Every structure is written in structure tokens, then in C-alpha cells.
Amino acid sequence: MGSALRGEPRRKLGGRTRYDAAGVNVIHPLERIPAGRRKLVFLACLGLTVVLWLVLHTIAGGLATGAAPLGLVSLELARTASEVRLILAWWTDAQVVLAGLAVKADFAFIPFYATTLALVCLWAPGPIAARGWPLSGLGRPLAWAQWIAGSLDLLENVGLLRLLDGGIRDPLPTLVAACASLKFLLVVLGLAYGLYANWALVELGPTQKTAPPSA
């Protein structure tokens, strides 16, 4: 039973065991980045994430209305065609255009935020394990989850563009809302795991070294 839960190893990659699709510990492609370069990649992705988030905030910052208190996010979470029509009825033509621009800009934002969070999740097991805290084994699955969140975001954006173009028919809003909800859940889990690891790092103190992430 134990081996069934862990997955049977299929082969070694770079000295690390790779598990098949039935396992929970499949090597993440970002782990192939040399350790000495991973921080640089993280900082580059983080910087681009922040810049693109500011661009998105600037574009979509004026979309909040009575029907859409969260702006574009309200449209993402609208579950029925009637809810979508109500949101669009409150928006001016200019706001609909801005919403479309924000969705298109989000396509550029997705790979950077998803990769940034994935790298955080791959780093996090080190300080967590060094502190002896639980959940150090979640880093790799949560790193994959961030890329899944990005994929869901892509699907969501395709649906949003269709809705903004007038294709407002059920069950499309329900599918868009489902993608958005699961995306937000996975992203929040990744952020929470990173904060948990930072807490562990603070508890370790400046003189203690962190253990490497488990393979």
C-alpha cells in the first residue's frame, strides 16, 4: 500500500528519482535549473510579475461597479449568463474594451506569476524541513499546482474573451468561474506555503543552514 501511495520510480534524472503519473513526486522542470542560477531566474520572474501586475492594475483599475464590485474578477466569478449580462450592462463601451485589453495582457502575466510561485514552492521545503516542521513534502506537488493554475487561467481568459465578444451562453460562464475559482485556490495555497516557509526561515535564525528540498 505504501508503494502505491508514493508511486513506483521509473527512472533517475540528474540523480533524482522520477515517479510516474500515478505518483505524487514527479520532478518539476524548474528543478533542472542549476542551483546557482535558480535565484536569478526567480528574481527575473518576480520582477516581471510585479511589472505586469502593475500594468494589469492600471488597465483594469476602473472596472469596479455596483454589479462588479471586484471589477474584472467579478466577471471571472460570474456563474450564469444573467450575471454576466448584468455586469456588462453596467460597464460602458470603453470599460468593455479595457476589460478585453486586461484579459489579453493577462496572457503575458500568466507564465511569470506561475513560474515565480512554482520556484517559491520548490525552495520552501528547505527551511521547513530544517525546522523539523510538517508539510515539507508538499513543495513539488504545489509547484506543479502553480503551473496548473496558470493553465486554468489561460482557459479562463479564452472564455472571458468569448463572453466579452457577445458569446454569453450557459454553461460558458460556469466553466469560466470554475477555472477561476480553482486557479485562485491553487495560487493561495502556493502563497500560503511560501509564507509558511518564510516563517520557518525566521525561526531558524541567521546562522542556521536550511536543508535541501527532499527529492
**What is the structure's pLDDT at 203?**
80
Tens digit of pLDDT for each residue in 60-102?
999 999 999 999 999 999 999 999 999 999 999 999 999 999 9
Number of domains in the chain: 1
Stronger pLDDT, 35 or 198, i.e. the higher one: 198
Distances (CA, A) of 93 to 89, 97, 98, 99, 143: 9, 6, 9, 10, 39
Stronger pLDDT, 201 or 150, i.e. the higher one: 150
Q: Whole-angstrom Cα distance, residue 170 to residue 70?
A: 22
pLDDT at 17 over 50: no
**What is the structure's pLDDT at 7?**
36
The mean of the pLDDT values for the chain is: 87
* Residues 8 and 20: beta-carbon distance below 8 Å: yes
**Is residue 41, in this structure, part of any structural domain at all?**
yes
**What is the structure's pLDDT at 148?**
98
**What is the structure's pLDDT at 23?**
46
Tens digit of pLDDT for each residue in 169-211?
999 999 999 999 999 999 999 999 999 999 999 887 754 544 4
**Is residue 154, in this structure, part of any structural domain at all?**
yes
**Is residue 22, in this structure, part of any structural domain at all?**
no
**Is residue 169, in this structure, part of any structural domain at all?**
yes
pLDDT at 18 over 90: no
CB atoms inside a 10 Å sphere around CB 137: 14
**Is residue 86, in this structure, part of any structural domain at all?**
yes
**Is residue 13, in this structure, part of any structural domain at all?**
no
- The whole domain housing 191 covers 34-204
Give the 3-state DSSP-derived string for the chain, with helices as H, strands as E and coil as C: CHHHHHCCEEEEECCEEEECCCCCCCCCHHHHCCHHHHHHHHHHHHHHHHHHHHHHHHHHCCCCCCCCCCCHHHHHHCCCHHHHHHHHHHCCHHHHHHHHHHHHHHHHHHHHHHHHHHHHHHHCHHHHHHHCCCCHHHHHHHHHHHHHHHHHHHHHHHHHHHHHCCCCCCCHHHHHHHHHHHHHHHHHHHHHHHHHHHHHHHHHCCCCCCCCCCC
**What is the structure's pLDDT at 208?**
55
**Is residue 12, in this structure, part of any structural domain at all?**
no
